[in-house]
A = this chain, B = another copy of it.
Amino acid sequence: MDKKNRGHLSPSDQSICDENHPTNTRRRGKTLENAILQAAWDELNEMGYAHMTMEGVAVRAKTNKATVYRRWPSKSLLIVAALHKHVPRPTEDVPNTGDLRDDILTLMRRITTPMQIVGAETIHGLLLEHLGKDIITSFPRLRNSNIDEKWNTIIMTILKNAEKRGELNADKISTRIVSLPFDLIRYEFLVTQVPISDETLMEIIDTIFLPLVRSKI
Protein backbone atom coordinates (compact mmCIF):
# COMPACT_ATOMS: atom_id res chain seq x y z
CA MET A 1 0.00 0.00 0.00
CA ASP A 2 2.87 2.39 0.53
CA LYS A 3 3.49 2.02 -3.14
CA LYS A 4 0.42 4.12 -3.68
CA ASN A 5 1.87 6.75 -1.52
CA ARG A 6 3.58 8.46 -4.41
CA GLY A 7 2.32 11.37 -6.29
CA HIS A 8 1.07 13.37 -3.43
CA LEU A 9 2.60 16.13 -1.58
CA SER A 10 3.93 16.96 1.79
CA PRO A 11 1.70 19.36 3.70
CA SER A 12 3.94 22.31 3.03
CA ASP A 13 3.99 21.66 -0.67
CA GLN A 14 0.32 21.16 -0.93
CA SER A 15 -0.53 24.79 -1.05
CA ILE A 16 1.50 25.13 -4.15
CA CYS A 17 -0.31 22.55 -6.15
CA ASP A 18 -3.70 22.39 -4.69
CA GLU A 19 -4.63 23.98 -1.46
CA ASN A 20 -7.61 21.95 -0.49
CA HIS A 21 -7.18 18.68 -2.24
CA PRO A 22 -7.65 15.45 -0.32
CA THR A 23 -4.27 13.94 0.28
CA ASN A 24 -4.85 10.26 -0.14
CA THR A 25 -6.39 10.33 -3.57
CA ARG A 26 -4.85 10.28 -6.95
CA ARG A 27 -5.03 13.68 -8.53
CA ARG A 28 -6.84 14.23 -11.79
CA GLY A 29 -8.53 16.90 -13.84
CA LYS A 30 -8.06 20.48 -12.72
CA THR A 31 -6.19 19.55 -9.60
CA LEU A 32 -3.55 17.73 -11.57
CA GLU A 33 -3.49 20.38 -14.23
CA ASN A 34 -2.79 23.07 -11.67
CA ALA A 35 -0.01 21.04 -10.15
CA ILE A 36 1.63 20.68 -13.54
CA LEU A 37 1.28 24.34 -14.42
CA GLN A 38 2.75 25.30 -11.08
CA ALA A 39 5.64 22.95 -11.63
CA ALA A 40 6.17 24.33 -15.12
CA TRP A 41 6.21 27.87 -13.82
CA ASP A 42 8.68 27.02 -11.06
CA GLU A 43 10.87 25.08 -13.43
CA LEU A 44 10.85 27.88 -15.95
CA ASN A 45 11.93 30.39 -13.35
CA GLU A 46 14.60 28.22 -11.84
CA MET A 47 16.12 26.83 -15.01
CA GLY A 48 15.32 29.36 -17.65
CA TYR A 49 13.57 28.62 -20.90
CA ALA A 50 16.44 26.78 -22.54
CA HIS A 51 17.14 24.45 -19.64
CA MET A 52 13.60 23.76 -18.60
CA THR A 53 12.59 20.24 -19.59
CA MET A 54 9.32 18.38 -19.76
CA GLU A 55 10.97 15.70 -17.71
CA GLY A 56 11.83 18.17 -15.00
CA VAL A 57 8.31 19.50 -14.95
CA ALA A 58 6.82 16.04 -14.64
CA VAL A 59 9.13 15.12 -11.80
CA ARG A 60 8.50 18.34 -9.97
CA ALA A 61 4.76 17.91 -10.38
CA LYS A 62 5.19 14.39 -9.06
CA THR A 63 3.57 12.98 -12.14
CA ASN A 64 4.88 11.66 -15.45
CA LYS A 65 5.61 12.94 -18.89
CA ALA A 66 2.68 11.22 -20.57
CA THR A 67 0.26 13.05 -18.33
CA VAL A 68 1.90 16.33 -19.22
CA TYR A 69 1.96 15.62 -22.93
CA ARG A 70 -1.66 14.57 -22.91
CA ARG A 71 -2.56 18.15 -22.04
CA TRP A 72 0.15 20.21 -23.69
CA PRO A 73 1.85 18.62 -26.65
CA SER A 74 4.94 20.77 -26.52
CA LYS A 75 7.10 22.70 -24.15
CA SER A 76 6.10 26.02 -25.61
CA LEU A 77 2.40 25.36 -25.25
CA LEU A 78 2.91 24.28 -21.68
CA ILE A 79 4.78 27.46 -20.97
CA VAL A 80 2.10 29.58 -22.55
CA ALA A 81 -0.44 27.87 -20.32
CA ALA A 82 1.72 28.43 -17.28
CA LEU A 83 2.12 32.08 -18.17
CA HIS A 84 -1.62 32.45 -18.47
CA LYS A 85 -1.97 31.09 -15.01
CA HIS A 86 0.87 32.82 -13.23
CA VAL A 87 1.44 36.15 -14.89
CA PRO A 88 -0.98 38.79 -13.63
CA ARG A 89 -3.06 40.15 -16.46
CA PRO A 90 -3.09 43.91 -16.67
CA THR A 91 -6.40 45.59 -15.98
CA GLU A 92 -8.14 46.69 -19.12
CA ASP A 93 -10.04 49.72 -18.04
CA VAL A 94 -9.26 52.97 -19.78
CA PRO A 95 -7.33 55.44 -17.64
CA ASN A 96 -8.98 58.80 -17.69
CA THR A 97 -7.27 61.26 -15.39
CA GLY A 98 -7.91 64.21 -17.57
CA ASP A 99 -4.23 64.36 -18.45
CA LEU A 100 -3.06 62.64 -21.65
CA ARG A 101 0.47 62.12 -20.41
CA ASP A 102 -0.68 60.48 -17.20
CA ASP A 103 -3.09 58.25 -19.03
CA ILE A 104 -0.45 56.94 -21.42
CA LEU A 105 2.12 56.57 -18.66
CA THR A 106 -0.32 54.55 -16.60
CA LEU A 107 -0.97 52.28 -19.53
CA MET A 108 2.71 51.74 -20.22
CA ARG A 109 3.42 50.91 -16.63
CA ARG A 110 0.72 48.28 -16.77
CA ILE A 111 2.40 46.50 -19.61
CA THR A 112 5.96 46.60 -18.38
CA THR A 113 5.35 44.64 -15.21
CA PRO A 114 4.00 41.39 -16.70
CA MET A 115 6.58 41.66 -19.46
CA GLN A 116 9.40 41.75 -16.93
CA ILE A 117 7.89 38.88 -15.02
CA VAL A 118 7.86 36.69 -18.09
CA GLY A 119 11.36 37.71 -19.06
CA ALA A 120 12.99 38.25 -22.40
CA GLU A 121 14.51 34.79 -22.57
CA THR A 122 11.11 33.15 -22.47
CA ILE A 123 9.75 35.45 -25.16
CA HIS A 124 12.66 34.68 -27.43
CA GLY A 125 12.19 31.00 -26.79
CA LEU A 126 8.54 31.09 -27.63
CA LEU A 127 9.12 33.18 -30.72
CA LEU A 128 11.81 30.75 -31.76
CA GLU A 129 9.38 27.87 -31.84
CA HIS A 130 7.19 29.74 -34.32
CA LEU A 131 4.41 30.02 -31.88
CA GLY A 132 4.58 33.38 -33.43
CA LYS A 133 2.63 36.41 -32.72
CA ASP A 134 -0.74 35.58 -31.37
CA ILE A 135 -0.14 32.91 -28.86
CA ILE A 136 2.94 34.18 -27.23
CA THR A 137 2.14 37.75 -27.11
CA SER A 138 -0.92 37.23 -25.02
CA PHE A 139 0.75 38.86 -22.10
CA PRO A 140 3.11 41.48 -23.22
CA ARG A 141 1.54 41.19 -26.63
CA LEU A 142 3.62 42.16 -29.54
CA ARG A 143 2.27 43.10 -32.94
CA ASN A 144 -0.59 42.44 -35.31
CA SER A 145 -2.59 40.28 -32.98
CA ASN A 146 -6.14 40.56 -31.87
CA ILE A 147 -4.79 41.26 -28.44
CA ASP A 148 -2.95 44.13 -29.99
CA GLU A 149 -6.27 45.46 -31.15
CA LYS A 150 -7.45 45.59 -27.60
CA TRP A 151 -4.58 47.72 -26.47
CA ASN A 152 -4.71 49.94 -29.47
CA THR A 153 -8.37 50.48 -28.76
CA ILE A 154 -7.56 51.59 -25.24
CA ILE A 155 -4.95 54.03 -26.43
CA MET A 156 -7.32 55.26 -29.08
CA THR A 157 -9.92 55.90 -26.41
CA ILE A 158 -7.39 57.86 -24.39
CA LEU A 159 -6.57 59.89 -27.46
CA LYS A 160 -10.26 60.45 -28.11
CA ASN A 161 -10.61 61.75 -24.58
CA ALA A 162 -7.77 64.15 -25.23
CA GLU A 163 -9.42 65.16 -28.46
CA LYS A 164 -12.54 66.10 -26.53
CA ARG A 165 -10.33 68.39 -24.49
CA GLY A 166 -9.08 69.90 -27.75
CA GLU A 167 -5.53 68.64 -27.35
CA LEU A 168 -5.28 66.86 -30.69
CA ASN A 169 -7.11 65.42 -33.67
CA ALA A 170 -7.42 61.69 -33.19
CA ASP A 171 -8.50 60.90 -36.71
CA LYS A 172 -5.19 61.94 -38.13
CA ILE A 173 -3.20 59.55 -35.96
CA SER A 174 -2.20 56.36 -37.75
CA THR A 175 -2.15 52.92 -36.19
CA ARG A 176 1.59 52.89 -36.29
CA ILE A 177 1.76 55.96 -34.13
CA VAL A 178 -0.87 54.61 -31.80
CA SER A 179 1.13 51.49 -31.13
CA LEU A 180 4.43 53.34 -31.16
CA PRO A 181 5.01 53.60 -27.40
CA PHE A 182 4.29 49.93 -26.92
CA ASP A 183 6.44 48.90 -29.84
CA LEU A 184 9.35 50.86 -28.49
CA ILE A 185 8.97 49.55 -24.99
CA ARG A 186 8.73 46.00 -26.22
CA TYR A 187 11.79 46.43 -28.40
CA GLU A 188 13.66 47.82 -25.44
CA PHE A 189 12.59 44.82 -23.42
CA LEU A 190 13.52 42.23 -26.01
CA VAL A 191 16.93 43.61 -26.80
CA THR A 192 18.18 45.32 -23.69
CA GLN A 193 19.08 43.19 -20.74
CA VAL A 194 18.41 45.82 -18.09
CA PRO A 195 14.99 46.42 -16.52
CA ILE A 196 12.95 49.17 -18.06
CA SER A 197 12.91 52.25 -15.89
CA ASP A 198 10.18 54.79 -15.44
CA GLU A 199 12.50 57.36 -16.95
CA THR A 200 12.63 55.41 -20.17
CA LEU A 201 8.87 55.36 -20.31
CA MET A 202 8.71 59.09 -19.79
CA GLU A 203 11.36 59.78 -22.35
CA ILE A 204 9.43 57.83 -24.96
CA ILE A 205 6.22 59.61 -24.10
CA ASP A 206 7.64 63.10 -23.81
CA THR A 207 10.07 63.19 -26.68
CA ILE A 208 8.38 60.90 -29.17
CA PHE A 209 4.76 60.08 -28.61
CA LEU A 210 3.32 63.35 -27.36
CA PRO A 211 5.11 65.53 -29.93
CA LEU A 212 3.76 63.30 -32.68
CA VAL A 213 0.17 63.18 -31.55
CA ARG A 214 -0.01 66.82 -30.53
CA SER A 215 1.28 67.91 -33.90
CA LYS A 216 -1.88 66.46 -35.36
CA ILE A 217 -4.26 69.32 -35.09
Residues of B contacting A186 in the complex (Cβ-Cβ under 8 angstroms):
187, 191
Whether A121 touches B130, Cβ cut-off 8 Å, given contacts A143-B191, A176-B203, A176-B208, is yes
- Shortest CB distance A139–B (Å): 14
A interface, how many residues as a size bin?
A: 35 or more
Residues of B contacting A211 in the complex (Cβ-Cβ under 8 angstroms):
211-212, 215
Minimum CB distance partner of A127 in chain B: B124
Residues of B contacting A133 in the complex (Cβ-Cβ under 8 angstroms):
191-193
Q: Is there contact, CB below 8 Å, between B193 and A180?
A: no
- Shortest CB distance A127–B (Å): 5
Copies in the complex: 4
The contact string, 1 if C-beta is below 8 Å from chain B, for chain A 119-149, is 0110011011110110001000011100000
Q: Is there contact, CB below 8 Å, between A143 and B50?
A: no
Q: Is there contact, CB below 8 Å, between B50 and A176?
A: no
Q: Is there contact, CB below 8 Å, between B120 and A127?
A: yes
Q: Is there contact, CB below 8 Å, between B177 and A144?
A: no
Residues of B contacting A177 in the complex (Cβ-Cβ under 8 angstroms):
207-208
Complex Cα distance, B75 from A54, in Å, reads 22
Q: Is there contact, CB below 8 Å, between A128 and B121?
A: yes
Residues of B contacting A49 in the complex (Cβ-Cβ under 8 angstroms):
128
Whether A20 is near chain B, meaning CB under 8 Å from some CB there, is no
- Shortest CB distance A137–B (Å): 8
Residues of B contacting A108 in the complex (Cβ-Cβ under 8 angstroms):
none
Whether A204 is near chain B, meaning CB under 8 Å from some CB there, is yes
In the A-B complex, list the 4 residue pairs whose CB atoms are closest, starting with the nearest: A187-B187, A142-B191, A124-B128, A143-B191
